[in-house]
Structure formats: structure tokens, C-alpha cells
Amino acid sequence: MLSHIPVSVLTIGLLVCSNLFMTFAWYGHLKFPSVTLWHVVLISWCIAFFEYCFQVPANRVGYGHFSAAELKTIQEILSLSIFMGFSVLYLGESLKWNYILGFLMIVGAAFVIFHKW
């Protein structure tokens, strides 16, 4: 069914889905400070289940095409990218210059990891 999709596209697509769920599981509750901690932990675990439903297949499909270090790097870049949008759009926080600079430094690290030396 998915065999016609290139491995890199499928892997990154699954990782995007995983990171969307992860971001809401880990940070979505910050918008609701009056909800008890045990409630947000339980809700977060339920959301995180879907994160794993995408993360594990992404790593399974992508490993071999990408190394483990490359998979983790892709995941981190996507995580930060999604989180930046989430923090601005959902939490209403501002995107400061030092956040952007730090993110660009991580992208530079990704270049070092993916470059064939």
C-alpha cells in the first residue's frame, strides 16, 4: 500500500505526525494550568500513545536508508520546527531572535551529521 512512497518521504511524514502528537502530549497542557497534574499526565499518556504509533514505524521504515544518528537528527529538527510554530500559534508566545539563532545552529549541526566526509 505504501511501497510506492519513497522511504525518505514516508519516514519524514511519519516523524512529522509523531512530533505533532508529541508536542501536544508534552506541552498542550500548559494552556490549562488549573487542571490537576494527574489529569494532565493521564491525558498526555493517551496522546503520547499516538506519537509512538507514528514514531516506531518511522524508525523501522527509515533505518537502513538513514543511520540511527540521522533518524534522531531528523526527529530533533522536526521537533524544534513544530514546537516553534506550536509555541507561537497555540501558546501565544513570541519567537525571539535567540531561539531562531539557536535553531539555526542545530540545523548547522544537522549539516555536519548528514554531510559525507
Predicted confidence (pLDDT) per residue in 6-56, tens digit: 999 999 999 999 999 999 999 999 999 999 999 999 999 999 999 999 999
> What is d(CA 107, CA 4) in angstroms, rounded to the nearest whole number?
29
DSSP assignment of 41-99 equals HHHHHHHHHHHHHHHHHHHHHHBTTB-HHHHHHHHHHHHHHHHHHHHHHTS-----HHH
- For residue 61, give the nearest of 101, 8, 18 by alpha carbon: 8
Predicted confidence (pLDDT) per residue in 54-84, tens digit: 999 999 999 999 999 999 999 999 999 999 9
- Tell me the domain boundaries of the chain: 7-114
Please tell me whether the overall predicted TM-score, pTM, comes out greater than 0.85 for this model: yes
Answer yes or no: is pLDDT of 1 > 70. Answer: no
